[in-house]
Structure 1
Amino acid sequence: MSRPLDDFIRHLSSEKRHSPRTCDSYQRDLIRLSVWLTRQGHGDWLRITRHDLRRYVAVLSREGLDGRSIARHLSAIRRFYRYLLREQLATDNPALDIRAPKRGRRLPGVADVDQLNHLLDATPDDPLEVRDLSMFELMYSSGLRLAEVAGLDVGSVDRVGGELRVVGKGGKERLLPVGRKALQALEAWLPLRAGLAPEHEKALFVSRRGSRLSHRSIQSRLSRWGLAKGADQRLHPHLLRHSFASHMLESSGDLRAVQELLGHADIATTQVYTHLDFQHLARVYDQSHPRARRRGEALATGTTLKKQE
């Protein structure tokens, strides 16, 4: 069963020009399916039925995959079978009518403003930490995705105008403002970068060997920063992006502006942050309104007021 799968991955890479990351994702999901099918005694993609794929979805669910991950698997299988149909290696697409289990809407994690300020105000201990702080300041200042910060070049930043040119999903460019603290962190990093990067290297953030930092390295350095500086939750790139969006919305209430800053094509994607904002307001209400607090808290407040009188 492996040869059609290998041909399909080459088709994605050479004909469709998908990124290596996307091709790896398709290959990983389809190999997982082929291994399971082989264990069930199947040796031919032509003989796979809808019933087989429904059983496979049930297996994925029992193994703990959420609805989003299962939907991604099914998307890969559907596309693979479209390719097999084109190559006359299948007579139908058994994945067409298979749906992933419904998933609950999970709200993104958000860091507290005071905690982020504490972490970003920490003093770097070495040149690589100066680089890390510059990266993290930019990510929180401008709401960057992991791929966006990894793809930044030295020429992406206009330090005089305080602007940043970013290439987002689908190759779409957007121009973003950069905060004062992020610009200061960049000013500290650039002289150190000059001592690490060869002249031909365009990347803004480079490793100690002078090459562009990988996605994995950025994730690892952010997690390490959080542990070293005393964060009370695990730091990851999306946490900084989500925190940026939520804090901007709390302060401005301008959903359209936050949509533009994040580079969301659909405002419905941005609307998840209105739920986060409401949760924040609800907590403030519960803690502050005398008719919303629990009876014990209200009695304690009443006793305190009497003593003060």
Structure 2
Amino acid sequence: MISSFLQYIQYEKRCSPHTLISYETDLQQFHTFLTTSYELPSPETASFPMIRSWIVSLVEEKKNASSVNRKIATLRTYYKFLLKKNVITSDPMMKVKSLKLSKPLPQFVDENSLNQLLDTFDFPDTFAGHRDRLLMELLYGTGIRLSEMIELQEKDINTHEGVIKVTGKRNKQRIIPVSKRLLSLLTTYCIEKKQLFPDGNSHVIVTDSGDKIYPMMVYRIVKKHLDLATTIEKRSPHVLRHTFATHLLNKGADLNAIKDLLGHSSLAATQVYTHNSLEKLKNIFEQAHPKA
């Protein structure tokens, strides 16, 4: 039934390839555990104690809580599918609880440091240099996810309206306004890209040879440039998304507007950025108030 389930989430739920791989990996690991520990031929007949035993074994292996919770979520989805298909009559996941997570504050780059990087750094006057600059400006200027930027296509850019159309998780689309500066960079870059690769693909951000860019290359580009601007531990594309949201909030943007720009399904996911804003207010208070 695992193969049927994977087809279900791929074609009916339209999960991303990354999510599909995660589901498959989790279920295969669970299947292996059941076979080894209980000589159980398939997960369909697993009981609550067996599932709990697997979770305990993961914790004992020092797996982090978020990783374990992802596997629990996989099993929840899988057993709901089995119920729907009448393969089982009761859900063994009903009593299973997710592990408690500590919630570290999102890391972000200081506004002055990032602006100095983008305004004064001498990006090479080459296609690669122009691409790298646009990549950094696009991630920070729109707050889009890594996967969303990789999949962004030229047809998604509306120069007349000054917006881009982004396809996010579960193929949900949203419209994000872009600044005149970023729109100018996009327009100039796309013209140069068309001249260099007239028969190239329609994706906006491409490699030096005109192919669709890939995650590891984006990570390398972002880290290379953030190394010049910050000493924070994480220097990844997602940090620029956090920075986008934090800077907007610090400038007084409405939380609901930030939620829509980020493509969050609920306000709870966006509220984490208020903690960073509160920290800034505390620092200002301590520095400025005579009785602080």
Q: TM-score if structure 1 supplies the norm length? A: 0.82
Number of matched pairs: 288
1:243 paired with 2:240, answer no
Instruction: Call closer, same or farther: CA 1:18–1:171 in 2, change over 3 Å.
Output: closer
Q: Where does 1:179-258 land on structure 2 (aligned, <5 Å)?
A: 179-199=179-199, 201-227=201-227, 229=228, 231-233=230-232, 234-258=234-258
Instruction: Report the secondary structure of 1:175's partner residue.
Output: strand
How far apart are the structure 1 equivalents of 2:60 and 2:182? 45
Instruction: Call closer, same or farther: CA 1:13–1:243 in 2, change over 3 Å.
Output: same
Q: Which residue of 1 aligns with 2:39?
A: 42
The 8 Å contact of residues 109 and 230 in structure 2, kept in 1 or not, is answered as no
RMSD (Å) for aligned C-alpha atoms: 2.5
How far apart are the structure 2 equivalents of 1:56 and 1:263? 34
How far apart are the structure 2 equivalents of 1:90 and 1:173? 36
Q: TM-score if structure 2 supplies the norm length? A: 0.86
Instruction: Report the secondary structure of 1:252's partner residue.
Output: coil
How far apart are the structure 2 equivalents of 1:13 and 1:220? 30
> Offset at 1:155?
2.4
Aligned residue type for 1:82: K
1:25 paired with 2:22, answer yes
Q: Deviations over 1:18-70 (max 9, x none)?
A: 33222111001112222333332433224422122222222323334444332
Q: Which residue of 1 aligns with 2:163?
A: 163
Q: Which residue of 2 aligns with 1:63?
A: 61
> Offset at 1:197?
3.4
Aligned residue type for 1:123: D
Structure with the larger RCO, 1 or 2 (CA within 8 Å, 6+ apart): 2
How far apart are the structure 2 equivalents of 1:289 and 1:131? 45
Unaligned runs of 5+ in 1: 293-309
How far apart are the structure 2 equivalents of 1:50 and 1:236? 39
Q: Which residue of 2 aligns with 1:296?
A: none
Unaligned runs of 5+ in 2: none
Aligned residue type for 1:186: L
Aligned residue type for 2:3: D
Instruction: Report the secondary structure of 1:30's partner residue.
Output: helix
How far apart are the structure 1 equivalents of 2:77 and 2:191? 48
Greater CA drift, 232-241 or 6-15: 6-15
Q: Which residue of 2 aligns with 1:127?
A: 127
> Offset at 1:11?
3.4
Instruction: Call closer, same or farther: CA 1:162–1:54 in 2, change over 3 Å.
Output: same
How far apart are the structure 2 equivalents of 1:250 and 1:283? 13
Instruction: Call closer, same or farther: CA 1:279–1:33 in 2, change over 3 Å.
Output: same
How far apart are the structure 2 equivalents of 1:87 and 1:269? 32
Aligned residue type for 1:104: S
How far apart are the structure 2 equivalents of 1:252 and 1:65? 39
Instruction: Call closer, same or farther: CA 1:130–1:11 in 2, change over 3 Å.
Output: same
How far apart are the structure 2 equivalents of 1:17 and 1:270? 24
Instruction: Call closer, same or farther: CA 1:14–1:155 in 2, change over 3 Å.
Output: closer
> Offset at 1:86?
5.2
The 8 Å contact of residues 137 and 181 in structure 1, kept in 2 or not, is answered as no
How far apart are the structure 1 equivalents of 2:231 and 2:99? 33
Instruction: Call closer, same or farther: CA 1:12–1:230 in 2, change over 3 Å.
Output: same
